[in-house]
Copies of this chain bind each other. A is one copy, B any other.
Amino acid sequence: MYRTHNCGELRISDLNKEVELSGWVQKIRDKGFIMWVDLRDRYGITQLIFDQERTSNELIESAKKLNREFVINIKGSVIERKSKNSLIKTGEIEVLVTELTILNASITPPFTIEDETDGGEELRMKYRYLDIRRNPIKENIILRHKITQEVRKYLSDHSFIEVETPYLIKSTPEGARDFVVPSRMNPGEFYALPQSPQTFKQLLMVAGMDKYFQIVKCFRDEDLRADRQPEFTQIDCEMSFVQQQDILDTFENLVKNLFHNIKNIELEKFPVITYDDAIKNYGTDKPDLRYDMTFVELNNVTQHKDFNVFNKSELVVGFVIKGGNSFTRKDIDKYTEWVKRPQIGASGLAYMRMQDDGTYKSSVDKFYDQADLKKWAEVSNASTGDILFILSGEKDKVRTQLGALRVHVAETLNLKNPEDFKPLWVVDFPLLEWDEETKAYHAMHHPFTSPKLEHLSLINSDPSAVRADAYDLVLNGNEIGGGSIRIHDKKIQQKMFDCLGFTKDEAEKQFGFLMNAFEYGAPPHGGIAFGLDRLVAIMGGNEIIRDFIAFPKNNSGRDVMIDSPSSVSADQLKEINLKTTL
């Protein structure tokens, strides 16, 4: 052992102890006759002191050779500091060094190892092992560890069994694209890496495992949007003999428990909102409830006049911004430009100010009088000093546009407090989703999701009306978990595959093992999966998930530190019976 204590451990009560420490040189202050070195390890910083009066010349000479990030080992005695530092736990003491050994030198790091670094993203990723030395990243990784430990403890205490499911599984073209793994021992055949352990966890329910969980890597070969990773981690859970409410209760408690134990925050009962209401009220199925700005539908009070833009719109809808009358003309112009960007695609933004003198002023004053506007204010519950933003158009589109605007306004007004946590359940998702491109229905969650049994008869006649026993857990505008009650009846599962356009052969080839399993006594079951990366990031108060992953990949799926992916030798390819077509 190269130490008697770590660098965060010594206190005033350790005065006069002979100690041995090891760590990295964080900072050197050399006053000539006296020299201080901040020694750092994972646990903290301890100040070392060398001075001419009490330290040998030889020792001072070798201390002068130190530089940032050198790894050293010292022996010395704990003394009281003259000027104490109340910001760090070891701030009352320092160690008067009597022996110094350089365990490893360091060349100058490419960026400063400080909480605020001068290193850009690409450089930090290339030297991730230096980036992790920085407190913010180190703390993120420790937070991740604590969260997974708590999750495991909670679930184990509630009779869940963690079961490892295989990583080398089978490619199923449904869903996102699989990463495939050529099999050398089975020439011409491939494994696939799991996009999730979905079918295995269902098989574990058929196997009578009753309550399963796993914290597990999953893989998707998708074109990466910003802050998406080709490999990501799920907290994957499944339970037997449950209805939807049982699952909501169990995992609401898990999340409450996490916030209590990790952040000392007591969350209130999570609101439950239907998918339809979420879309209607917030224009999204993952509403951020840290701020209000609930949608108000204005068709009734706007379509009786000569304003054609509103009259021909399927939906006129807006939301009130408290205190928004303080927006300048320029502010409003900026929002208008923002909604007109092609990514949003609105044709314009109407508004109404609730002025301090009790009168109304709108961008469409030409068409509406004060009495009309008063109605708008009443319907939307707007008060003096507020502003009402209004969009109009085709129902689905305008809701999405207004939903995006709602988030944007919250961002500009700093309403997204990262230390405020507002979880909710969104339930009753549609079972199916119409895809314009393929002119076919797709499963909104996945093909194993159970339709609400009372909607079963609609599957053929009105597929888009069928709701599923499917639910998402939304936190601060992010989906952090999603799941469903599963189909456990072979006939319904077959019907579902039919409906999704699988031929009998395709269904059999890809999922025959699951449907066979359903013939041997499958219990009713359901589950949920949480995106760990996102959950940890939100709990860490920062939404950049890369900062919560030890060794993340960039947007091209590359690990720039190890320079991967990379070419492999011709021999390697030959062994697996492949050649590139490039």
Contact = CB atoms under 8 A, between A and B. Distances in A.
B109 A69 contact: no
A246 B521 contact: no
A109 B520 contact: yes
A138 interface: yes
Contacts of A246: 1
A193 B217 CA distance: 12
A71 interface: yes
A141 B169 contact: no
B221 A69 contact: no
A342 B170 CA distance: 40
A180 B576 contact: yes
A231 B566 CA distance: 22
A190 B582 CA distance: 14
Interface string A124-154: 0001111111000010011011001100100
7 contacts: A104-B489, A138-B209, A169-B559, A171-B566, A183-B557, A188-B567, A513-B563
B152 A559 contact: no
A531 B43 CA distance: 30
A556 B186 CA distance: 8
Number of copies of this kind of chain in the complex? 2
Given A165-B550, A173-B572, A549-B164, A129 B581 contact: no
A558 B217 contact: no
A204 B170 contact: no
Interface string A176-193: 011111111111111111
A553 B185 CA distance: 12
A241 interface: yes
Interface string A237-259: 00011110010000000000000
B578 A520 contact: no
B521 A71 contact: yes
A133 B208 contact: yes
A230 B168 contact: yes
A517 B107 CA distance: 10
Interface in A523-575: 523-524, 549-551, 553, 556-559, 561-569, 572, 574-575
Contact of A189 (B162, B170, B233, B567): B567
B572 A582 contact: no
Nearest to A22: B241
Contacts of A103: 523-524
A43 B209 CA distance: 9
B230 A572 contact: no
A1 B243 contact: yes
A582 B149 contact: no
A219 B168 CA distance: 9
Given A208-B138, A210-B41, A230-B168, A579 B579 contact: yes
A24 interface: yes
B524 A190 contact: no
B223 A185 contact: yes
A581 B579 contact: yes
A207 B69 CA distance: 11
A200 interface: yes
Interface string A200-242: 1001101111110000010101011000001101000000111
